[in-house]
Structure 1
Amino acid sequence: MENNTVKNLSLLLELQEIDKQINKIIQVRGGLPQEVKKLEDDLSNLQLQATTCQEQTINLEQNIASLRIKIKDIEAQVKRYEDQQMNVRNNREYDAITKEIELHKLDIQLAEKKIKESYEQIEKSKHAIEFLNKSIEKAKQNLASKQEDLNSIVGESKGEEEKLNKKCQQLQANIDKALLQSYEKIRNNVRNNLAVVTVAGGACGGCFTIIYPQMQAEIKEKRQIIKCEHCGRILADVVDSVSVIAAEADSQVD
């Protein structure tokens, strides 16, 4: 059990160093990946709007065609009523047919009004499509430019990143799964992404909370995985406070 703990802690520390190197590579890219993603989303949104406008235009044109057919049918019906009107036998029949003719003519006027409104809407859609197409071309150019910048930066470090990711996968395969999950969870929850730290000067190397001597002794023994009670980071080892002070003094002399 002791050997497994020592092995896992050693592997975690090595994994963390590789993760730090990968993070540095990613940081060099700055906000470019996010910019590229936003430009891709903006382009998709513009293309969707253009497609919607085109579909609306097609629907309006189909509606106009249907209304024209309807008008012809109504006009034919009016003609039949007018023919009947010539052969009525009394005023009541004449008035009834006249009312039907008037109602049908109102339907024609309504259909013609809808056709006019549809043409107006088609004109607006055409202007919108023209504007959207220009915006799409501009968005494509911006995206291509940013994508080229990103590809250039990624290309410079692609080989190194692939090598580090491969090494990362190899290490992960040899670490206890539950411990690896805990490591990833801690990394994602802490600001500096350090999941594994040492106790230096009697304090946690992550949050600087004092670690009591008894726990320090247990950490040194490495019989089990111990986490900081305050920040939850894994405490891999204890750096003697005297050594730390001496190292700091040496660095000041230099």
Structure 2
Amino acid sequence: MPTPRPDLEPDGSLSREEMESLQHEIADAAVFEDQFAFDPAHLSNPLEATTAGSSATEPPIVVGVDQSFLTNDAGEQDRALSAVVAMRGGVVIERAHAVTSLEIPYIPGLLAFREGGPILAALAELSVDPDLLVFDGSGRIHFRQAGIATHVGVVLDVPSIGVAKSLLCGEPQGGLENRAVGTRVPIEANARVDAPDGTLLGYAVQTRQYDSPNRSINPLYVSPGHRVGPGTAADIVLELATSYKLPEPVRLADQYATDAKEPLE
């Protein structure tokens, strides 16, 4: 697929200061509001049948993105495996993966420079063009408003959403325990985020919950990556989280990453 902003591609050879500077450029280029052509209501619907005087509405292509890691003989992680699963109307239409070396260690806030290469390589293997990318990782909920979902979304200029299992930064505007399915708690910028205090970064979204007051499932931390607004991002994740906590494209990408890694270990 085309890369409209190759100048912003993650480069693990940069210094930390250069990486952070590039993230500021990414955040400036990002669009944190709805700017897409598809109908979010049709994300999981199968192809609608044509009726007299109308044509079929083809659901958008949603691609889930996740990572796994390979270790060397010393037991150290030395390669990243990126897995991407393309779905249309709730059906898997294509899968791809790529493996590249890890150029830098894990540094909070610089995930895209560690894992962005294999993600772009895996997406380049797809024969279909995504209408939406959904990442296991952050978007605007990031120190410099440029998590991996934002970084890759801007580089490819594709609508994108970040779905994280833990909160990197920002301040929840309410409690997160024992929330009912469908509940959203706003996450706003605080002193750890390069944005005015109170900026809406995303939501803690409750996609699943136990039917018991004694146990609680943690929410997902959903934020816009690029060309999607925070409210729409939350709507989409709830729509895609059909039977599991994670949205289905990400869950299947995680599963595929595990399967693809087995013969390489």
After TM superposition, the score normalised by the length of structure 1 is 0.19
- Please state which structure has a larger fraction of its residues in helix: 1
Greater relative CO, 1 or 2 (CA 8 Å, sep 6+):
1
After TM superposition, the score normalised by the length of structure 2 is 0.18
